[in-house]
Structure 1
Amino acid sequence: MTFVQLIDCRTSRFDEMNQLMDTWVEKTRGKRTATHSVIGKDRSDATHFIEIVEFPSFEEAMRNSHLPETDRIFQEMVALCDGLPTFTDLDVVRDEQLFAANIRRFFETMAGPGELPPLNGLMVESYHDHDPANEQDTIGLDAMRREIEMWRGGFDFTFTVEDQLTQGDRVCTRWAWNGTHKGDFMGIPATGKQVTMTGTTVFRCQEDGKIAEGWWQYDRLGLLAQLGALDALEQ
């Protein structure tokens, strides 16, 4: 279970404390078990800071705290604080990456049965799509709908989300695609073949979670080979 520790302190010497944290990061490289750290400053009190540190588990946090470098840095940190810092230990019982969840809904919607539903709850009207397989970028929600309809007209397909990584407003998704070639696709008549493809897409999201921009990388050449479209070129 993911474990989070909140460190609450007051200091008028934050610049020195910040340098101290950089020293700790350097000296514990390859040893520390913390996976994520965020420090926030109280908007109403410039001396009030809260650090949020994430660990894979409570046991890993304890292993991290027992590092000699951690103990040494902690003593120096206390000396920079206006009073003793306080600690709150939390077991994470819910962790939802809201941007990532919206991206998963987008992939599910693209592959859903029946008519393609409106996408304006998932994407902005000015959505900008970068696909190296297209000569020009796809710009605008209506244009993106036409792009998706092209794929839906050619295949019955599903997406499987293999991995997702989130950083700031970007979500990177590694996916697997499986389809049945049921209709015309890029001038290739329906073959009924079962085809597969893998790819990675990076989406940029707005603050409300809607998708504003996307960059695709996938093996369209491999897909065309599975459909037999390259056979004539190889002869």
Structure 2
Amino acid sequence: MPGFVQIIEFTSSRIKEIEELGRPSRTGGSTAPKFRRIVATADRDHPGHYFTIAEFDSYDSAMENSGRPETSDFAARMAALCDGPVIFHNLDVMWEDRGDGAGNG
């Protein structure tokens, strides 16, 4: 099933603070989050470099999620804990293969 993926790339020497900051904003708040799944990753080859991968049903649902007050608040507070700019990669899913033999393309 096609969808949309947003990859948030950042560097930080304060990752524990970012992790603590992010946990409640993912599920709490006045409106329900719109993501399918969020995966937080650390770049093994570049310590202090991180990627958050958020999967959505569509670009529109991603933008709706970005408009949540909880998301906006988290993004501002997270940026203050980063060692440089936060980079967003907005990607339309063309196809996927989950490795279960039922490739989706």
Q: What is the TM-score normalised by the length of structure 2?
A: 0.89
Matched residue, 2:4? 3
Q: Which runs of 5+ in 1 are unaligned?
A: 105-235
**How many equivalent residue pairs?**
101
Deviation digits for residues 121-152 of structure 1 (CA, Å, limit 9, x no counterpart): xxxxxxxxxxxxxxxxxxxxxxxxxxxxxxxx
**What secondary structure, in the 3-state scheme, does the structure 1 residue paired with 2:6 have?**
strand
Matches within 5 A, 1:1-235: 1-28=2-29, 31-98=32-99, 100-101=100-101
Matched residue, 1:128? none
Identity %: 33
Q: Does the 8 Å contact 2:27/2:33 carry over to 1?
A: no
- Structure possessing the higher radius of gyration over alpha carbons: 1
Bigger proportion of residues as strand: 1
Instruction: Find the aligned partners of 1:90 and 1:28 in 2 and give their Cα distance.
Output: 26
Q: Does the 8 Å contact 2:6/2:54 carry over to 1?
A: yes
**What secondary structure, in the 3-state scheme, does the structure 1 residue paired with 2:91 have?**
strand
Q: Which runs of 5+ in 2 are unaligned?
A: none
For residues 29 and 95 of structure 1, do their structure 2 counterparts lie closer, same or farther at Cα, with a shift above 3 Å needed? Answer: farther
Q: Does the 8 Å contact 2:8/2:53 carry over to 1?
A: yes
Instruction: Find the aligned partners of 1:67 and 1:30 in 2 and give their Cα distance.
Output: 7
**What secondary structure, in the 3-state scheme, does the structure 2 residue paired with 1:35 have?**
strand
For residues 56 and 28 of structure 1, do their structure 2 counterparts lie closer, same or farther at Cα, with a shift above 3 Å needed? Answer: farther
Deviation digits for residues 11-37 of structure 1 (CA, Å, limit 9, x no counterpart): 011111111110212424861001111
Runs of 4+ more than 3 Å apart = none
Q: Which has the higher contact order (CA 8 A, sep 6+)?
A: 2
Paired AA for residue 39 in structure 1: A
**What secondary structure, in the 3-state scheme, does the structure 1 residue paired with 2:35 have?**
coil
Q: What is the TM-score normalised by the length of structure 1?
A: 0.41
1:94, CA displacement in angstroms? 1.0
Deviation digits for residues 57-91 of structure 1 (CA, Å, limit 9, x no counterpart): 00000100001111111100000100111001000
**What secondary structure, in the 3-state scheme, does the structure 2 residue paired with 1:43 have?**
coil
Matched residue, 1:184? none
Q: Does the 8 Å contact 2:4/2:58 carry over to 1?
A: yes
Instruction: Find the aligned partners of 1:69 and 1:38 in 2 and give their Cα distance.
Output: 18
Instruction: Find the aligned partners of 2:26 and 2:67 in 1 and give their Cα distance.
Output: 15
Instruction: Find the aligned partners of 1:54 and 1:23 in 2 and give their Cα distance.
Output: 18
